[in-house]
């Protein structure tokens, strides 16, 4: 992977992470309360937990350095990979 491809891959990951947050928030509030209204509160709670776990698993699997594959940690705006030192943004 070239430096250019790594930075592009990181930019795509950042965009995916923003979409994932938006989708998760939408599903948590709108989806879970709709399910709760229709099927009962217990199913609404289950939906919320499933969405939350699904979001965390997605971020855990996707939020990795494009060069070395190590998890990037909680910080959203990273300039370098904390493990291999690869530059992630211009
Ligand atoms: Zn790395």
| pLDDT category of residue 30 using cuts at 50, 70 and 90 | very high
Residue 84, pLDDT > 90, answer: yes
CA of 7 to the centre of ligand 1 (A): 12
Full-model pTM: 0.84
**Residue 69 buriedness (CB in 10 A; 0-12 / 13-18 / 19+):** exposed
pLDDT, tens digit (0-9, with 9 covering 90-100), for 40-75: 999 999 999 999 999 999 999 999 999 999 999 888
CA of 71 to the centre of ligand 1 (A): 8
**How is residue 87 annotated by DSSP?**
B
Contacts of 82 (CB under 8 A, 6+ apart): 70, 72, 73
CA atoms within 13 A on the CB side of 21: 7
Residue 85 or residue 77, greater confidence: 85
* 3-class SS string, 25-86: HHHHHHHHHHHHHHHCHHHHHHHHHHHHHHHHHHHHHHCECCCCCCECCCCCCCCECCCCCC
Per-residue confidence (pLDDT) for residue 77, from 0 to 100: 86
CA of 12 to the centre of ligand 1 (A): 16
């Amino acid at each position: 992977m070239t430096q250019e491809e790594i930075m592009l891959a990181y930019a795509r990951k950042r965009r995916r992470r923003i979409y994932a947050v938006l989708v998760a928030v939408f599903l948590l509030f709108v989806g879970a309360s709709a399910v709760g209204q229709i099927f009962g509160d217990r199913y609404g709670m289950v939906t919320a937990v499933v969405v939350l776990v699904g979001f965390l698993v997605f971020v855990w699997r996707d939020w990795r350095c494009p060069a070395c594959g190590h998890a990037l940690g909680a910080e959203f705006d990273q300039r370098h990979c904390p493990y291999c030192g690869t530059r992630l943004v211009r």
